[in-house]
Structure 1
């Protein structure tokens, strides 16, 4: 969504955010506006009924989700680069003549960096766009303020990813490593700190060790599957709202303990008033160096696009 907002600003277009068929709700409502409010950009929630659209793969079917279009078109396997080329505009081009342009990916945001000399890298551009274009919905703001009031002015944020999906895709950091880093940071101090965790057993153990840990009440998956975008969740919107509150509280911490490979922790950076935040990585030094090298490789490949 942030990539689309940045493109809309550069191309002087009205932004339409359509999360009606998102995995944050089963009701069919546009759940974006239950999570965020837009600011400093011309926007609408109305989907135009038009065939004047680029890419043409969306002609007369703007009511479909990305997944629905993908299935309807009979793709046999997922190829992200080909799918982006087929279903998203090229961010190098900002003067399309069509009434509507469609983008569902964020991969191309690096192509827009040249329009923002104040941003030295993609992370700064994401932070710029989150700060400029997004406010959280009032209910989430109230929940954030409620939990923020329980924490000191400067506080530690801890984010623990410990689900099956993260272990399979990015490698699991043992909980003992988290506890080791937390112990060094907290010591014997009794000041509260904020904990966002996706594993109920790990959260319970940590809160037992540190009763001063502040957590948000949330739904947990019994199977060890991810909390978010989980089809078994009984209330997907409430789950997304609690996740966003977690992100805000992590974002406002003065120091953040996390796995830098986590997109959740990365999102917290973009909402942080302390950007760039002070990060204490739970990755062993060698793995952290490898992760940093991999990130630099990704940035280099993105730079080759613009």
Structure 2
């Protein structure tokens, strides 16, 4: 929902707009949007977040203002009919479409997004409307621009991302109340654990081993578990006591949560449940996670979790280390 007390988004003295589209899950689209928001500020464009792709709200309805107390932004539908002054030109007359259709079925490879994303190497595009999207954060590609801008110079990427997440992604009141209700009764410290175990199966045994090690140090610490898998949830709750969860829909056949609408599940409600998990993890004292997941990585940034408060179960996995490097810089 729009926060009436929030400032108008972005610097738009030029009258130019950056339409920020999305692809993927909640963490992916939040960190991707942060890149777009920073690019908009660097380029003097007004940002407009467009989450009408049907993943977290009925198709055609913008999920962003439903889920977050967002700064004032125009309705992205206002730009749908624009046919000129658009970059990349592939979007002209197609601004009601989404990245998933633009990639023509080719969802692999770190460079797929570049054909339909504004050229991030330049800030001086003449087009009145530019379109940004990426599957993950592309902040390292803006490093040169940020080094020349006093608003960003000398600040760490993590600090900048945390700042933009706070400004543009404050949860709606239902989510805030649910997070407080979930964590409020729990004794401190609380161990958070996240495991994606459906379409991208995470290391369940490594998560359990890390939880066991933390429980050895803090035997009375409750665990807050966030997972997309009924099987993983049942396994961890059978292994450890005092495990707390957000009650949410988990497909029994192992499908990922983005397919919940096929089962008649309200996509906005399930998006809010995912946000409850994300912000609850952010407010835990320790977090067991995989850096292969942008979901829990976003939680860590929101919560300011670092150092020995984080246990990355994939920190020695060379495939994931290389994958993340390529995604950041390409």
TM-score, scaled to structure 1: 0.81
Distance 1:31 1:258 in 2: 26
2:189 to 154, 157, 164: 154
Give the alignment partner of residue 273 of structure 2, picking from 223, 242, 248: 242
Cα contact 1:14–1:44 (8 A) shared by 2: no
Question: Do structure 1's residue 262 and structure 2's residue 293 form an aligned pair?
Answer: yes
Supply the distance in 1 between the matched residues of 2:44 and 2:50 (Cα, whole angstroms): 19
Residue 125 (structure 2) aligns with: 96
- Following the alignment from structure 2 to structure 1, what is the Cα–Cα distance between the partners of residues 250 and 105? 33
The worse-fitting range, judged by mean Cα deviation, of 28-37 and 213-222 is 28-37
Q: Distance in 1 between matches of 2:238 and 2:105?
A: 48
The equivalent of 1:112 in structure 2 is 142
Structure-2 separation of matches of 1:52 and 1:296: 34
CA drift of 1:280 comes to 1.5
Superposition RMSD in Å: 2.8
CA contact (8 A) 1:157 1:195 kept: yes
CA contact (8 A) 1:161 1:198 kept: yes
Show structure 1 runs of 5+ residues with no match. Answer: none
Q: 1:78 to 1:202 in 2, by over 3 A?
A: closer
1:204 aligns with 2:238: no
Would the alpha carbon gap of residues 96 and 230 (structure 1) be closer, same or farther in structure 2, given more than 3 Å must change? same
Change (3 A) 1:229 1:95: farther
Report how far residue 276 of structure 1 moved.
6.2
CA shift for structure 1 position 103: 0.7
Q: Distance in 1 between matches of 2:94 and 2:324?
A: 38
Change (3 A) 1:195 1:291: same
CA distance in 2 between counterparts of 1:78 and 1:176 reads 29
**Aligned residue among 192, 202, 210 for 1:181:** 210
| Higher mean C-alpha displacement, 192-201 vs 272-281 | 272-281
TM-score by length of 2: 0.76
User: Which aligned pairs between 1:40-51 and structure 2 lie closer than 5 A?
Assistant: 43-46=73-76, 47-48=78-79, 49-50=81-82, 51=84
Q: Is 1:6 equivalent to 2:38 in the alignment?
A: yes
Hey, what does 1:134 align to over in structure 2?
A: 169
* Alignment partners' CA distance in 2, 1:181 and 1:139: 32
- Counterpart-to-counterpart distance in 2, 1:76 and 1:35: 28
* Deviations 1:179-220 (CA, angstroms, capped at 9, x unpaired): 222122113723322111222133123224434211100101
Moved more, 242-251 or 144-153: 144-153
2:316 counterpart (264, 288, 294): 288
Task: Give the paired residue count.
Answer: 286
CA contact 1:260–1:281 (8 Å) conserved in 2: yes
- What is the rounded CA distance, in whole Å, between the counterparts of 1:213 and 1:261 in structure 2? 23
Alpha-carbon distance change, 23 to 277 in structure 1, aligned in 2, over 3 angstroms: farther
Matched, 1:271 2:266: no
How far 1:256 moved relative to its partner? 0.6
Shift of 1:270: 2.4
